[in-house]
Amino acid sequence: MFIVMILAMWRLEKDYIEIDLQTRIFISAGASVFSGLVSYFLFFRGDKN
């Protein structure tokens, strides 16, 4: 999740300078949470030991 947030912040800062910092943080945080949820459902949900 942290890697996704760092990469999203870097990409938004590099390619979309017109977006202000607060909006970039919200977008990056949303991407991070979304990737965490996808990872949870793909990797940990089926493990019922």
The pLDDT of residue 46? 63
Cα–Cα distances in Å, from 5 out to 11, 19, 47? Answer: 10, 16, 26
27 within some domain: yes
pLDDT in the model for residue 30: 95
Residue with structure tokens 């996704």? 4
Read off the pTM: 0.76
Q: Percentage of the chain with pLDDT > 90?
A: 71
The total domain count for the chain is: 1
Q: Give yes or no for residue 32 having a pLDDT over 90.
A: yes
Q: How far is CA 22 from CA 25, 26, 46, in A?
A: 5, 6, 36
Residue 12 lies in domain: 2-42
- Domain membership of residue 47 (yes or no) is no
pLDDT at 47 over 90: no
